Structure 1
Amino acid sequence: MPGRVILPGNTDNAYMCTVTFIKTSDKVFITSNRDELALRPAALPPAIYGGDSGRIIFPKDGLAGGTWMALHERGNAMVLLNGAFERHIHKPPYRLSRGLIFLQIFDSATPVFTFQQIDLDQIEPFTLVIWQQHALWEARWDGANKTWRPMPDDVMHIWSSATLYDEEVRHKREAWFDRWQAASPVISTESIEQFHTFAGEGDAATDLRMNRDGLLQTVSISNITISDTGSIFRYNDLLQGGFYTQSFQES
């Protein structure tokens, strides 16, 4: 049967997203499409917030006040995908939103270690893509167990949320990413954002910029670019029509 898309259920459940990681000789690019219910309160654009471990840039979720993507002045970055390995059953109430747990984990010199130590009991499953101290990690919580592993940073990676896309659709998106890599001799922030905007095959339910009857759609595209000269967070609000940037520059 064709790849199955997963339809929205309880409106309290956040969905999101598609994430890519690309490292070139002088830059790291992490890009995220946030796929959400269009009626969910709009997120605040990225701003610089003071944390216990230093300054952090992130957009703030309009419902729970957490976030799904953040950049630290230390050069660390992290992005959230809802769900772990496969689609789970949404069983509220949960103790805390994943976006707020995200901030507790990221406000640290070593987010991977914080993930290993933090209590996730009664937290809905999620996946984290973590760039920490010049190394790439993937961490998952499936509702019962944590797993984490270092990832090779000399190859490009794409993740699609298990809450929205079944395995066949996720593999199809990996193939689009492979074809884009082969056709893109020069990688830039702009070319990656083009991929996140236009990749697909004309099916709005599964294209990277997705739209399922206007109810569930890609509401924003965010990019973090990190280099030796500094780091920048770019945020394209597709619903409100605004484009925002925040940055940390090396002194």
Structure 2
Amino acid sequence: MCTLTYLPNRDGFIVTQNRDESPLRGKPIFPFRSEEGYTYPKDPDGDGSWMMTDGKSVVCVLNGGYEPHERNPPYRHSRGLLPRILLDRPQLELTPSDAEGLEPFSVFIFNASKVVRYTWDGTSLFVESFSPNENHIFQSAPLYSNAMQSMRSLWFDEWLSEHSPSKDTILDFHFNGGDGAGETNICMYRPGVQTTAITQVSISTNSPSTYFFHSILSGEELTIHL
């Protein structure tokens, strides 16, 4: 749940995420549709997801807050349950009580009117707003140092200067962006942790909205209409 980009366009927006996890974690179930109409890849280990949508808003989870942290289990529940908690609420808002007892996280809400980040550092819940009319990249602090994050943000800026943003071109960045070093590439690989899946939600008012899922481990790939 570790590299996330947001691209606005004339009739909607595109959110793309690389999930960096242990390759031993259970195989996600995709597509999974809840009774409420939410679509997501379901994590069988935590029973939640890293990217969930109701067709209008997209909620994503990155592991960790602003800084690396030491794990201190047991935790109240999986951070992957937070997207459902948010989508169940008309105002799409988290409270400090929602975060109490959870491992540090960063949760992002994207829709036509806002880009919001909730960050829990284990003690306090912070809220930040970003322009929905600008491009953004967000990364997981536990896996990437400040220097690595700055370097990867530079790759994103360089990519934006050389490409016309679209579903396909931003996917190419998520698959192939970087300098060839496995531990820092956008599609990363390190012993015990790697990019295991790439997911993308494209919300559009003038064409079908889509959810794309690609498993790095199995090669399985699927695009569905929302």
* Separation (CA, whole Å) in 2 of partners of 1:118 and 1:23: 32
Match of 1:206 among 177, 184, 188: 184
Matches within 5 A, 1:223-238: 223-229=200-206, 230-238=208-216
Structure 1: 5+ residue stretches without partners:
1-15
> Which residue number in structure 2 is paired with residue 95 of structure 1?
76
- What do the CA deviations read for 1:85-126 (whole angstroms, capped 9, x no partner)? 001110000011101233222322222x2x136432111111
Aligned-residue offset at 1:188 = 1.1
Letter matched to residue 173 of structure 1: R
Select the residue among 54, 70, 87 that pairs with 1:72. 54
Between 236-245 and 191-200, the greater mean CA deviation after superposition: 236-245
Q: 1:29–1:106: structure 2 CA closer, same or farther, 3 Å change rule?
A: same
Between 133-142 and 163-172, report the one with greater CA deviation: 133-142
How many Å separate the matches in 1 of 2:85 and 2:100?
A: 14
1:158 aligns with 2:137: yes
Aligned to 2:28: 43
CA distance in 2, matches of 1:132, 1:45: 22
1:219-251 Cα shifts (integer Å, max 9, x gaps): 100001011034211101111211122322xxx
Q: 1:23 aligns with which of 8, 18, 21?
A: 8
1:139 Cα deviation after fit: 1.2
Counterpart code for 1:89: E
Q: Tell me if 1:148 matches 2:137.
A: no
Q: Give the counterpart letter for 1:64 in structure 2.
A: G
Does the CA contact (< 8 Å) of 1:46 and 1:245 recur in 2?
Answer: no
- Aligned residue number for residue 57 of structure 1: 39
* CA spacing shift, 1:86–1:138, aligned 2, 3 Å: same
Corresponding residue for 1:34?
19
Paired residues, number: 225
Residue in structure 1 matched with residue 165 of structure 2 by the alignment: 187
Q: 2:117 matched to 1:138?
A: yes
1:78/1:101 CA distance change after superposition, 3 Å: closer
Q: Is the 8 A contact 2:52 2:83 kept in 1?
A: no
Q: Distance in 2 between matches of 1:146 and 1:246?
A: 34
> Which segment drifts farther, 174-183 or 56-65?
56-65
Higher mean C-alpha deviation, range 198-207 or range 127-136: 127-136
Distance 1:117 1:167, change over 3 A: closer
1:141, distance to aligned residue in structure 2 (A): 1.1
Provide, for residues 111-157 of structure 1, a one-character-per-residue CA deviation record: whole Å limited to 9, x for no partner. Answer: 2x2x1364321111110111145211111111111111221122211
1:59-87 deviations in whole A, cap 9, x for unaligned? 001211110101113x0111110111001
| Runs of at least 5 residues in structure 2 that lack an aligned partner in the other structure | none
TM-score by length of 2: 0.95
Identical pairs, percent: 31
Q: Secondary structure at the residue paired with 2:38?
A: strand
Q: Is the 8 A contact 2:13 2:112 kept in 1?
A: no
- Name the SS of the counterpart of 1:122 in structure 2: coil
Matched residue of 2:99: which SS? Answer: coil
| TM-score scaled by length of structure 1 | 0.85
